[in-house]
Every structure is written in structure tokens, then in C-alpha cells.
């Protein structure tokens, strides 16, 4: 893959996510907690429907060795048919969902958003073909155009007082522009006679992906619907506000670290010694980069949420602290799960996802007398039970020693943990002395960054020097190539 492919893939992933963050930061300050919670609930429900509308076939198209026009046409019809059926069901049962969740005003939002579900379903296969052909530049341009136009309209409508409908309009316009631009440069002819026999392999592969994604949704996002059902749309909005910064950062970081690492490791999957030698430096580097970001975000959450979201941020900070704190562990878990996929045992990773989904269900379904913070904390903490399962599976399946992995990631976690404590101590020491929240955030972030850098150098001096040398070598290599 050429460097340009990585660049444009990064532009598409990072550009659209940054655009969505900017939109969310603006709109979250304008809308009431109830309005924001209603839209968040609608999106959480829509996300379930989109899992089944997509059904993993798009990724199967990207990875398939051979494809014929009939198989692509069949895959397109399966996606579109699923999207239409699910869209109709969402439209018909919207009012019942509103009553069941006790969220007045949810039904109209769901009915309009069902159109976005159908538009997205019409785009999945075409987008996958562009990814397969590595047309990342076009995908990036399309995504940025759609994000900018829809975001501008959404913000304008929010300022005009349209409330949750401003976000609904943004979602519909985004899906419409994405769909229109995809088919403007149609990569295949959907009118070709479908060959469902040739598409069976795509369907089987897609269903295996769908299973994992549904389990992952239960383990990570089902809490949103639980908060709505057991509490209120306003409480849900606080959770969404608090967790949004973490989830966007996690997606952006993992999109780079996991995707590139997975592609590299897949090439040497048959050589176990080379695989082990490559994996440990990768998870070490990923930990050095990601762990301080998430632990630092947890440390400065009270200030960061207020700066980003105003008064609503005060209620949301505790949720950011929880998800960001466990987010550091999620980095390690993602790498271990990816390793299971590299060695051809994705079923093991799926089984671990099933364990976590069951644990989350055990926490949220019985109706324990838990407040919202306790619900989020316990459901997120299920990672502490499943993470050892990932370590064990990698030792048995990929011959990766647990102690070797722990030794690789220990410097980042030790320095990151000390950084977290340093920031907490600094906040206590500065109590009442730095009333300006912007300045306090800058001071605490600076203390955290300095603490992490110094302690990392203390715990792993050779590692730091090797990383600096590697960065210098890459810069020199790019300079020579440019010259």
C-alpha cells in the first residue's frame, strides 16, 4: 500500500470524526439535555438497525479474493433489502419504542431517521468496492464534503431553535450526500443479474462479523438504552456528552494503531517467531502513545468537560472519568483481540466478546437498585474480567507469554498511573487558587504531560531512546525520498 493510501484513509477517518466532534461541541451547548438525550437515544436504536442492514457483507467484499458482477449485485440487494425492511419496521414500531422507553418525542425522530438507514444501506457495497480498489482519496473528499455541508446546516438549525431536529436534519443530509456522491461515480452496475450462489461466501463471512459486532454493541453501547429506559433522556445526554470525547479519541487512535498493525502482522502470520517478535514492540509503542492520552483525559475530565460543554459538562465529567480510565485497558484488549484474528482464531475473540456481553447484561438487566454512575461503572468494569481471558487466549493460541506482554506495556501503565496521581494531587493543591477553568486545565495538563515524560524516561530509558531514533530515521527517510 502506498503512503498516499494511508494519508487519504487517515483524512477520511480523522476528518469526518473531527468534523462530528466540532458539530457535537457546538450543538451540545445549544440544545437542552432532554433534546440531546432524545437524539442520542434515536441514534443508539438506529445503530442496532444499521448493524443488521450492513451485516458485514461490505467488509467481506473488501477482503474477497475474487468477485464477479453478479455477486456484487446480490450483495447490494441483500443490503438494500435489509435496510428497507428495517427502515419500515423502525417507522412502524417507533411509537411503541417511545412508550416502552418512556421518552416523549422519540417516535417522530425515529421515523425520519429510518430514511437515513435506507440511504446508508444503498451505499455500503459501493463504498466497500472503493475501499477494495484503494480509492481512499475519493472516499475522503466525499466524506469531508458531506460532513461540512450537513454540519453547517445542523448548526444553523440548532441556532434557529429547531432542537433535536437540527441533528436529525444533519444525519439525513449527511446520508443523502454520501449516497449521491457514491453513486455519482458508481463502481459497479447494480442492475446486473444477481448471483446469490456466488455471494454465499460473502454472506457467511459477513454473518460471522455481524455476530461479533452485535456482541460488541451489547458490551459497549447497550448502556445507553439502559440509561434511557431506567432513568431519562437527560441522564443519557450527560453520559453521551461525557463519553463522546473518549469514544472519538479511541476511534481515531485505534484506526491508526490497530489497522496498520493488523495489516503488518497478517503478512507474517505463518511465522510464529517473527509474529511474536513483531507484536511485542507494536503493543509497547501503542501503549506508550494511547495509555497517557486516556489516563490523562480521565485526570482532567472535570475541567475538560466544562471547557468543552459548559454547565452540562459538570454533570458529564464523572462519566468521562470512568470510560477514559478503562479506555487505557481497552487499548491492550484491542491489540490482543486483533492478534487472535491474525492467527486465524477470530472465533475465540468472539467468544470473549460474548462473555463480556453476558456480564453487561447481568449488570443492567435484573433491575438492581443502581444509580446511573454505578450502572456505567459496573458495566464498563466488566473489562477487568474479560481482559485476563484475552491474555490467556493469546498465550494458548498465539504462544504469546503473559509476562512478556506485561513487561512490554508496564512502562506506559506505570508512568501513566503516576501521571494520574500527580494531576489529582495538583488539583487538590490548587483548589481555589486557579479559578479560571481554562487556565486550570492547561496547568493540570502540563503537569501530567511533564510527569509522564520524566517517569517514562526513568522507567524505560532505552525504550524512549529507541523510539526517538526510529522517529528520526523515518523523518530522514522521508526527507531523502522528497529530495
Asked if residue 239 and residue 161 are part of one domain, the reply reads: no
Residue closest to 324 by CA, chosen among 288, 365, 376: 376
**Does residue 99 lie in a domain region?**
yes
CA 271 from chain centre, in angstroms, equals 31
- Give the pLDDT of residue 355: 94
Asked if residue 249 and residue 199 are part of one domain, the reply reads: no
- Give the pLDDT of residue 184: 87
Residue closest to 334 by CA, chosen among 324, 321, 349: 349
- Give the pLDDT of residue 83: 92
Is there a contact between 170 and 23 (Cβ–Cβ < 8 Å)? yes
Residue closest to 105 by CA, chosen among 36, 38, 202, 182: 38
- Give the pLDDT of residue 354: 93
Q: Return the SS3 of 247.
A: helix
Q: Where a domain ends, among 220, 254, 272?
A: 220
Whole-Å CA distances, 90 to 87, 96, 108, 225: 5, 10, 11, 16
C-alpha span between 260 and 458 (Å, rounded): 29
Asked if residue 469 and residue 415 are part of one domain, the reply reads: yes
Consecutive H or E run containing 342:
helix 312-342
Give how many domains the chain has, as a whole number.
Answer: 2
**Does residue 195 lie in a domain region?**
yes
Asked if residue 198 and residue 289 are part of one domain, the reply reads: no
- Give the pLDDT of residue 369: 84
Give 421's contacts (C-beta < 8 A, 6+ positions apart). none
**Does residue 226 lie in a domain region?**
no
Whole-Å CA distances, 114 to 46, 47, 84, 172: 8, 11, 9, 9
Q: Where a domain ends, among 220, 252, 267?
A: 220
C-alpha span between 205 and 400 (Å, rounded): 27
Is there a contact between 237 and 29 (Cβ–Cβ < 8 Å)? no
**Does residue 85 lie in a domain region?**
yes
Q: Where a domain ends, among 220, 251, 286?
A: 220
Asked if residue 241 and residue 211 are part of one domain, the reply reads: no
Asked if residue 169 and residue 93 are part of one domain, the reply reads: yes
Is there a contact between 54 and 124 (Cβ–Cβ < 8 Å)? yes
Enclosing domain of residue 149: 1-220
- Give the pLDDT of residue 1: 45
All three cell numbers of 54: 450492513
Q: pLDDT tens per residue, the chain (483 residues)? A: 445 545 555 556 666 677 777 888 888 888 888 899 999 999 999 999 998 888 888 777 776 777 788 888 888 898 899 999 999 999 999 999 999 998 899 999 999 999 999 999 998 888 888 777 767 677 778 888 888 899 899 889 988 888 889 989 999 999 999 899 888 887 777 778 888 787 788 888 788 778 888 998 998 889 999 999 999 999 999 999 999 888 888 877 776 666 556 656 666 666 777 777 788 888 888 888 889 999 999 999 999 999 988 888 899 999 999 999 998 898 888 888 878 877 777 788 889 999 999 999 998 887 788 899 999 999 999 999 999 999 998 888 877 888 989 998 999 999 999 999 999 999 999 887 888 899 999 999 999 999 999 998 888 777 777 766 766 665 565 455 545
Max Cα-Cα span within the chain:
72
Asked if residue 91 and residue 148 are part of one domain, the reply reads: yes
Is there a contact between 286 and 256 (Cβ–Cβ < 8 Å)? no
Asked if residue 195 and residue 281 are part of one domain, the reply reads: no
**Does residue 381 lie in a domain region?**
yes
Asked if residue 419 and residue 363 are part of one domain, the reply reads: yes
Asked if residue 204 and residue 153 are part of one domain, the reply reads: yes
**Does residue 225 lie in a domain region?**
no
In eight-state DSSP terms, residue 258 is: H
**Does residue 336 lie in a domain region?**
yes
Give 159's contacts (C-beta < 8 A, 6+ positions apart). 30
Asked if residue 271 and residue 213 are part of one domain, the reply reads: no
**Does residue 227 lie in a domain region?**
no
Is there a contact between 27 and 158 (Cβ–Cβ < 8 Å)? yes
Is there a contact between 73 and 230 (Cβ–Cβ < 8 Å)? no
Asked if residue 288 and residue 143 are part of one domain, the reply reads: no
Amino acid at each position: 500500500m502506498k503512503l498516499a493510501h494511508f494519508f487519504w484513509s487517515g483524512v477520511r477517518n480523522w476528518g469526518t470524526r473531527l468534523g462530528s466532534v466540532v458539530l457535537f461541541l457546538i450543538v451540545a451547548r445549544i440544545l437542552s439535555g432532554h433534546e440531546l438525550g432524545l437524539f442520542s437515544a434515536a441514534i443508539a436504536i438506529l445503530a442496532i438497525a444499521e448493524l443488521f442492514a450492513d451485516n458485514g457483507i461490505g467488509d467481506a467484499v473488501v477482503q474477497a479474493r475474487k468477485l464477479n458482477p453478479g455477486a456484487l449485485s446480490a450483495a447490494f440487494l441483500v443490503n438494500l433489502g435489509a435496510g428497507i425492511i428495517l427502515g419500515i419496521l423502525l417507522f412502524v414500531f417507533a411509537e411503541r419504542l417511545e412508550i416502552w422507553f418512556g421518552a416523549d418525542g422519540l417516535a417522530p425522530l425515529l421515523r425520519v431517521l429510518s430514511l437515513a438507514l435506507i440511504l446508508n444501506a444503498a451505499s455500503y457495497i459501493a463504498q466497500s468496492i472503493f475501499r477494495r480498489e484503494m480509492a481512499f482519496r475519493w472516499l475522503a473528499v466525499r466524506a469531508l464534503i458531506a460532513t461540512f455541508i450537513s454540519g453547517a446546516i445542523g448548526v444553523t438549525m440548532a441556532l434557529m431553535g429547531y432542537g433535536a431536529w437540527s441533528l436529525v436534519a444533519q444525519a439525513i443530509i449527511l446520508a443523502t450526500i454520501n449516497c449521491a456522491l457514491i453513486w455519482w461515480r458508481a463502481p459497479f452496475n447494480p442492475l446486473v443479474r444477481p448471483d446469490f450462489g456466488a455471494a454465499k461466501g460473502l454472506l457467511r463471512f459477513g454473518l460471522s462479523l455481524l455476530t461479533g459486532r452485535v456482541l460488541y454493541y451489547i458490551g459497549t453501547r447497550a448502556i445507553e438504552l439502559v440509561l434511557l429506559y431506567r432513568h431519562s433522556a437527560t441522564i443519557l445526554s450527560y453520559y453521551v456528552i461525557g463519553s463522546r470525547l473518549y469514544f472519538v479519541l479511541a476511534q481515531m487512535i485505534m484506526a491508526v494503531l490497530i489497522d496498520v498493525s493488523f495489516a503488518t502482522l497478517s503478512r507474517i502470520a505463518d511465522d510464529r517467531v517473527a509474529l511474536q517478535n513483531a507484536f511485542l514492540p507494536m503493543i509497547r509503542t501503542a501503549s506508550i502513545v494511547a495509555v497517557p492520552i486516556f489516563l490523562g483525559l480521565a485526570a482532567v475530565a472535570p475541567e475538560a468537560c466544562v471547557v468543552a460543554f459548559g454547565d452540562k459538562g459538570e454533570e458529564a465529567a464523572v462519566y468521562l472519568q470512568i470510560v477514559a480510565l478503562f479506555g487505557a485497558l481497552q487499548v491492550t484488549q484491542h491489540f490482543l483481540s486483533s492478534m487472535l484474528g491474525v492467527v486465524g482464531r477470530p472465533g475465540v475473540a468472539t467468544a470473549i466478546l460474548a462473555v463480556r456481553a453476558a456480564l453487561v447484561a447481568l449488570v443492567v438487566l435484573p433491575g438492581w437498585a443502581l444509580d446511573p454512575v454505578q450502572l456505567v461503572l459496573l458495566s464498563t468494569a466488566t473489562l477487568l474480567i474479560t481482559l485476563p481471558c484475552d491474555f490467556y487466549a493469546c498465550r494458548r493460541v498465539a504462544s504469546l507469554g503473559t509476562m512478556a506482554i506485561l513487561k512490554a506495556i508496564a512502562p506506559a501503565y506505570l508512568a501513566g498511573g503516576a501521571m494520574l496521581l500527580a494531576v489529582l494531587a495538583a488539583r487538590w493543591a490548587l483548589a481555589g487558587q486557579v479559578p479560571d477553568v481554562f487556565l486550570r486545565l492547561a496547568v493540570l495538563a502540563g503537569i501530567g504531560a511533564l510527569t509522564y515524560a520524566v517517569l517514562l524516561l526513568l522507567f524505560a530509558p532505552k525504550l524512549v531512546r529507541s523510539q526517538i531514533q526510529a522517529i528520526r530515521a523515518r523523518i530522514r527517510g522521508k526527507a531523502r525520498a522528497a529530495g
